[in-house]
Every structure is written in C-alpha cells, then in structure tokens.
A and B are shown apart, each in its own frame.
Chain A
C-alpha cells in the first residue's frame, strides 16, 4: 500500500445516496485503465461489499483499511 499512488479519492462518508459502492462502480466504469481510486466510507458494509464486487468483475483490490470511524477502500482499474 505504501508505494501505491492514489489518483483519486471519493469521500463518500455519510453519503446515503448513491452511496460508497455506487461511487466505486462509477469510478471503475469512468476512469482510465491504471487509475487507482480510494473510496472513503462510514459504512462498515462497504469494507465487505466493495471487495466482493471488485472480485466479481475482475478489478484489483489494493487495500481495505479501517481508519478510526471510517473505512478506506483502494482499488485499481486494470481492464
């Protein structure tokens, strides 16, 4: 994680709608291949749901980290 440069951070903490997972899907659909995106979420569920979705669609999960009262999910668009 330390050597991965984050290109874009979406602070979806407290965002009820469309929510952190939809923001991750949006980023994976619209960013260029190679882009590393970080989603910040105050929902614990995102730390499970986001990695599961990334695995399902074949995108790379870089890290999941709890930072106090929120979670950081970092993903890389690889295709």
Chain B
C-alpha cells in the first residue's frame, strides 16, 4: 500500500514542503509507492509580504496572487476543501465536505491570521496591512489623508516582525515624496522596551528615528481603541490620540488547530529541532503554526519546509532521519523606498544587520518576483 503524505495548508510552508517532497520522492510517486495530498482553504496562493507594497501603490494585487494548482508539482493532489478536524490518534484529517484523508505522514502548515476583534475597538478604529483587502483600504486612506498624527502600533504575537519598522520608514518616505512631512506626526509604538525585538536592529533604528523626527513610545501594548474619540489605550496606562491608526493586530493560528485540541490559540507544541508535534513522529508542524519562540515569517517556514521534506523523504526511503532545524531565519528589512538591510540568525548566532543599501533594496524587489520559484521548491 502506498505511503500517504497529507499536507494541511497551502501557504509558503506547505507549498514548499509539498514540492520538495515531490522532487525527493519522484520515483516513489511515479511508481505508486507514495501519494501526496494537499488540503487548502482557497484555490489562490498569496505572497503576503506584497501587502506592504500594495499600501504604497508599488505593486498590483495581480502580481502577488497565483493559482495554487499552478505552483504545485503535477504529482501532488490538491483538494480545496478546508480541514475541520485533525485526528492524530487515528491518523486522519476530516474536511468541510465530509471527506476523510488518512495519512502515514502529516504536515500541518495552517499559518496564522490577524484577530483585531480581540482588542475592543481595533477592528473599527484601526487600519491593517496583513490582508489584501485591508492593505487596499489603508492605501486609499493614505491617499485621502491631509495631515495629522499617524500612530503605528503592534499586537502580540504577530508575524513578520520587521513589518512595523518597514511601514514606519516607508510612511516617512511616502509623506516626504508628497511634501507633507510638515503636516504629519509619525508616532511609533512597540510592545517591549526597545524599537524592535532584535536588539541590533533596535539599536540601528534608534538614530534613524531621531534623525527623521519619528516619535516613539516603547512598552506599549494595545488594550483598547476608542474609534469615536480616536484614542488608543495601552495596557501600561498610556492614552494616545491619533488621526490615523495603523496597526499590526495580534495573531492567532487556524481554527482547525483549536477545534482538534492541538493547541491553544492555534499554536502547536513543536520540537524546535525535529519539528515533530511532541511525541508524534509522523506529524510535522511548519511555519507560523509552531509554538517555537522564533519569528513567524515566510523565511522561517521556508527553512523549516526544507528540513521537514528531507526528514519525511528519509523516513520513507531509509527508515530513519537525522536532519535537524537550526533555527535559521533570514529577513530583508525595507528602510524606506530606496534602501534596505537584511538580517539572518539561528538558535546559536544572533543577527548582525548590515548597513542599508540600494543594492539590498533591489534584491528585496527581486525576491518579490523570485518568491514563486521558492514556492515551487526551485530556489
């Protein structure tokens, strides 16, 4: 009987894992020894980092959306049928249509989603840029904005940890290009006691903020928004008036995780090296879905996908595996419209950001196009 691999989730992590498995197991797939089934919620695949550029009219939505089927190796079966329950005791995934997908190996890559509704008033009073719809809404609000106080605030937990800094620097350049800096006050806030979680990035950002006149309030965690009076209150007791509120709302994992009893708030207990779900050696967790205290970012999912695909392939072909995830994360950081830096780090090596340059900005723009090769498991 064929070994059945089921991948739940068609984002970066799930798609890269599936395509790498199809490449590693080409012989087994073509001879009927292995079957790969992917279960997703949507027929579309969205390059989420593109939302930031939608806000500033730098890309069109058509550029960041592709058909999931077109990205997958032809040997992978795709089922657009949301998973409703994952039963690890019986090795089966149940879907909305009532179908069951038994598995020998399971990859859970269900991602994360913004939950602005968990902070009173935020959904009504705040703008976001973590969905296509909200990014377009913010783009239009910025076009109409005639001046005033722009507050940037960040929920916990959140994915793409560099996005709050990126949008702040890009807002500065946006208003500079519109010759509006004298009419706009940029106020950045951040949950911990520096400008960014990565200390070297925070240290780099501080003089940038001071040089550009960007105000900042640290140890600021959103508690409540009054959308009528336009006031944002923090858990720490600070009240801040705003004219335009731009936030990264708190995140949760997919509902199917909690519905399956796999982890509170949608985060699944994951071994930081093997990426197995606790003692389930045939269940792997990829990307934002893990509870590993590491950046929730596309690159994290990508490097985890490399490890998971290698481990499953080896388990099938050799009966065992020794490949481990070392915590590798690589992130570009846009520092405005013209320059960028990048950081890479892992469990043992802290990040050391390089000075921003135009070349790194162009590399980031290039990667925005090359992403589709990453998704296909080529890059």
A residues engaging B (CB < 8 A)?
A: 10-12, 14-23, 25-26, 29-31, 49, 52-53, 56-57
B198 touches A (CB below 8 Å): yes
CA A29 to CA B161, docked complex, whole Å: 18
User: 10 A-B contacts, Cβ less than 8 Å apart?
Assistant: A14-B348, A16-B198, A16-B345, A16-B351, A17-B294, A18-B295, A20-B293, A21-B193, A31-B264, A52-B193
Closest Cβ–Cβ distance, residue B232 to chain A (whole Å)? 16
Provide the residues of chain B in CB contact with A18, threshold 8 Å. Answer: 156-157, 161, 197, 293, 295
B265 touches A (CB below 8 Å): yes
Interface centre among A16, A23, A57 (most CB of B within 10 A): A16
Closest Cβ–Cβ distance, residue A15 to chain B (whole Å)? 4
Closest 5 pairs (CB-CB, A-B):
A15-B293, A18-B197, A12-B293, A17-B197, A21-B192
B142 touches A (CB below 8 Å): no
Q: Is the CB of B161 within 8 A of A49?
A: no
CA A29 to CA B350, docked complex, whole Å: 27
Q: Main SS of the interface on chain B?
A: loop
B211-248 interface with A by 8 A CB criterion: 219, 221, 235-237
How many of B's residues come within 8 Å of A, CB to CB? 28
CA A52 to CA B193, docked complex, whole Å: 10
Q: Across the two chains, which residue of chain B brings its CB closest to A30?
A: B265
Closest Cβ–Cβ distance, residue B334 to chain A (whole Å)? 17
B280 touches A (CB below 8 Å): no
Closest Cβ–Cβ distance, residue B259 to chain A (whole Å)? 17
Q: Is the CB of A57 within 8 A of B193?
A: no
Provide the residues of chain B in CB contact with A31, threshold 8 Å. Answer: 264
Q: 4 additional contacts, CB 8 Å, given A18-B161, A49-B193, A56-B236?
A: A17-B295, A22-B156, A56-B219, A57-B236
Q: Is the CB of B350 within 8 A of A53?
A: no
Provide the residues of chain B in CB contact with A12, threshold 8 Å. Answer: 293
B52 touches A (CB below 8 Å): no
Q: Is the CB of A29 within 8 A of B156?
A: yes
CB-CB under 8 A for A19 and B192, given A11-B293, A57-B236: yes
